[in-house]
Each structure stands twice: as structure tokens, then as C-alpha cells.
Chains A and B, each alone.
Chain A
Amino acid sequence: MGALDYFEVECPEPLGGEYYQRIVSTVLLDHDLVRVVAKIHVFIDPSVPIFVATGTTRKLPGLVTVRDFSDLNIEDHKVTISIANEAYLAPLLKILWDKFGQARVDQPDRLTIIMPIERNESENLPDMVVSDPGEALYKDLIYALQTIAPEGFKVRRQYYGNGKFYYVASENTLDEDITPLLSEKFRLMGESL
């Protein structure tokens, strides 16, 4: 796990901590999150019991707009979109169907979309947001942390925003205010919540 700037597992049972170090690295590698996560600190105390994972992510690519993956030819009564990256085709189609109706979105071949719309409707099309990488990352990250955490720890609180994330879980109810605990763990990484 040399790719991470900070990686620590803290546990009152040293051997258990060692095993969890291996579990964390395996799961992050399997979920392809090593390049995304910059720092991670995991704290597990089975006697409480509590599992806390705090960390930061690297700078993510910005929002993906139509312009980023396709060429647009905007005419007076028609727009032709030629898609270069098929990965965004499905979300784009969904947005266009919702906005203009399925009848007005013609797809003569897999990577071409033609819409008979007026110029005033099509002006904003190039800057329309199709995908937010942060949203997908949030889901992937939380799923990975769920996999890392001991299975019985079903009560959980999680957060991801501004390049920071935390995941707190227990099999008992969690304290109402977990901020002091989280602040302490972020401080160990040289970060603040």
C-alpha cells in the first residue's frame, strides 16, 4: 500500500490489528480505490465495540459535461451529437429523454444522436452535466468500508464531502455526538474534520 500517503490501523489487540491491515489493503486494491484514497486511519475496538474509518481522497476530476466526451453540431433546427466515449452514452440518453421526450431523440447509430430542436433549446447542451465522479466514488467508498468493517457492526454513520470521509459502525447504538472521536482520528492523520 505504498500508494497511500498515510495508512494506519489502530487496535487494542495487536494481532487483530495486523489482520485488519491486510483486509483494508486487499479491499482497497480489489475495489480500485488505492489511487483515489490519499490517507486512511482505521480504528477498531472490539471491546466497545466500535469501528471507525477516517480518511481523505485525492483531488477528483470535475463534473463531466456533454462537451467533454462528444462533438456537437448545433444548427438552427437540429443538433447532432457524435459521442466519443461510450461510457457516458446511457446516462446522456436518459437525461435527453427526460428533457426532450423519447420521440425527439433519434439515434440512427450507436454513437450518434440527432434531435430536431430549436437553437434556443440547444444552446446550453454542451455544458449540460452528465456524470458526477464524486457520486460514484461515494458509493464505492462506503461499500468498500462496509466490507472492511466487522459484519456484525450494523449500526453506522457515514459521510463523504470536501475530499474527506468517515465511516463509524458498531453493533450497539452510537453516541449522538461522534465529532470528538472523529476529530481525534483526523488529527492523527494531520487533518481536521
Chain B
Amino acid sequence: MILVPVTYKGGIYRHDEIVDLIEDVGGYIIQKHFVAQEVVLQALVPRDDIELIRAIGKPLMGDILPASLVGTEIAVVTMSLEIHHLPHASCDVAEYIRRNGAKTNMVGLARGFGKRIAQLNDEERDVINEHDLALFMLGNFETCIEKKLPVLRRGIEVPIVVCGGPSKEALQKIIDPPVSGYVGNVGRFMHRTKESDEIEKLEEIVAEITRVLDIRREEIAKDPLSVSPARLMDIITEQVPDIEGVTSPTPITVQIAGLRIKLPYDVYAGLVRECKIENGITIGAVADIRPSRMRDYILITIKPFSDTNIVV
């Protein structure tokens, strides 16, 4: 069964029927938002059942759209949290990626600005490495990007997509060794992105991120995970009832090959480790459970089949 990332948007009235339907056909709901009278579901659903969900959702004013980034957690790395970079361009980009289903976290570097003085500390490096992808929002000048990027990418192990003012070709030329993705002509700007050419640029960023993550998914497909992250989310929600008390918009964040659980590690790690998936197999047997550097959260990395010889 191939699960496809989608977004369902529709009225709140009878939306629970859609939720039940997605679960009945074997899909998973990753996020559920209520926006005024509308509900937005980010979900993974079987490819063959998309038309069925669309047909049932139609009378409820609902529509189902492909959302390539559902089930991913992306770090939007901005050089600082000053007015120079926020809310434009960093928030505009982060918000647009979110619309496509990703969970974005903005990582504002403490000393990211400047050409000579830019640096990355160990906490920032570790937090970025907990994501599926890091999107670096750089400035307008080739000279600065060429000089500072080697410092900022030191120790980053996740795929990097670079956004910068110079053209894509110029970025490819000055960045050595190459990074996973490039989007040119998106540097520092101080106005809201609302013109059509600016929206097209945001689309280009989403397309580039999708391309890079698809490569990652293909790599994972060659050595599949022992359990699907979305399934693990369902199991934890069922067996750790305290997760219901977490007020964060996504108490459990689904990543491509893991989960971030927003519960204190010291108290809940043992409980999560002992959760049963099926046939006596516990989460601890198929995944690494470690403390996240983001607050006191729990980070789960699912092991591949080659490590565990188990697929559940």
C-alpha cells in the first residue's frame, strides 16, 4: 500500500466522517487544524483511495490536494531573529512551506550575521541535525555567502537547501562542496511576498525541497524502515494518554524517519520505549530513543530493516 501525502480542506460540519474514513482505509492523520469554520487535515492516505475521499468530502465542501511535504520536519535557518531577516523573508518562506504540509521550525542563529564574524554553535548544529532538511536563508551578496557558508554548514549532516540573492548558477559556482539544493534570487528583502513572481519563487523553494526529500525517501525505500513513523505516532497517541495534555499544535511531530514527542524525556522515555507495536515487538526494539536538544523533548529515530530484521 503506497501512502501519499495530502491536505484535506473542508467544513467543520461532519468532518469526523472524513477522519474516520482516512483511518478506515489505512491512512494516518498527521495534523489537524481548525481555522474559523474550516478544518485542515494533513494526512497520509493510500493512493487508490484518494478519489473515494474526494467523493465523500465533496458534499461537505471538502477538497483533497497533494501536499508533498506532509510528514517532514524542516529547519528554516535564519541568520538572526532581528528585523533585518524577520518577518520577511524568513517567515514568508517558513509559512509557505508549512502550507505544503511540512512542520517548520525557525532556527535563528545567535551569531549568524556578518561575513567574517558568522559562526554556528553546537546547540544550533545539533538542533538543525534533528530535522529532515535545513533550509539556509542567506543574504544578497556572493562574497558573503562564499565566505560564511563553510562555517555555518560545519557539522550539519542533514541535506541543506540554500536560498540566496545571487542566481542559482552563481550559488552553485561559489558553494564548495556542493549542497543538496539551491534556490537563487531569494536573498534578504524587507517587503511582503505577494506579487506573482515572488509567489513563484516560493513555489520554487517548495519544489527544490520536495526534490531533495524525494531523494532521501528513495534512499530509505532501498532499506525500508522497521515501522512507518505515522504508524508509530498512532501507537504512541493510543498508549501514552498524557500526550493529549500537550498544548503544542503538533504534540507528536512526524519526520521522514522518526518522530519528535513533546513530552519530557526523563519521565516518559521508558514508557515510550515499552509501547507495544504488535506481536510483542516494542518501540525500543525498532527505534533509537534519545533526548532532543530542543527543550526536553524525546527524539525517536526508526532503525532500518537491515538493522533489526523486523518490519511491522
Contact = CB atoms under 8 A, between A and B. Distances in A.
Given A46-B144, A152-B117, A171-B115, A147 B83 contact: yes
B189 A150 contact: no
A115 interface: no
Interface string A140-155: 0000000100111110
A91 interface: no
A19 B189 contact: yes
A187 to B, nearest CB: 26
A107 interface: no
A124 interface: no
Interface in A19-53: 19-20, 22-23, 26-27, 30, 44, 46-47, 49
Nearest to B139: A150
B140 interface: yes
Interface in A149-166: 150-154
Given A15-B165, A19-B140, A46-B144, A151 B79 contact: yes
A172 interface: yes
The SS class assigned to the B binding surface is loop
A52 to B, nearest CB: 15
Contact of B142 (A13, A27, A171): A13
A22 B142 contact: no
B17 to A, nearest CB: 47
B80 interface: yes
Nearest to A148: B190
A22 B117 contact: no
B143 A47 contact: yes
B131 interface: no
Interface string B207-231: 0000000000000000000000000
B140 A151 contact: no
A16 interface: yes
A16 B141 contact: yes
Contacts of B85: 151
B141 A46 contact: yes
Interface string A43-86: 01011010000000000000000000000000000000000000
Contacts of A44: 141
B140 A20 contact: yes
B118 interface: yes
A147 B84 CA distance: 6
A50 to B, nearest CB: 11
Contacts of A147: 83-84, 190
Given A22-B189, A26-B190, A27-B190, A151 B113 contact: yes
A44 B117 CA distance: 18
A75 B113 CA distance: 62
A27 B88 CA distance: 12
Interface of B: 79-80, 82-85, 113-118, 139-144, 165-167, 187-191
Across the A-B interface, the 4 shortest Cβ-Cβ residue pairs: A152-B114, A151-B113, A152-B113, A46-B141
12 contacts: A13-B142, A15-B165, A19-B140, A46-B144, A49-B144, A147-B83, A150-B114, A150-B188, A151-B79, A151-B84, A151-B85, A152-B113
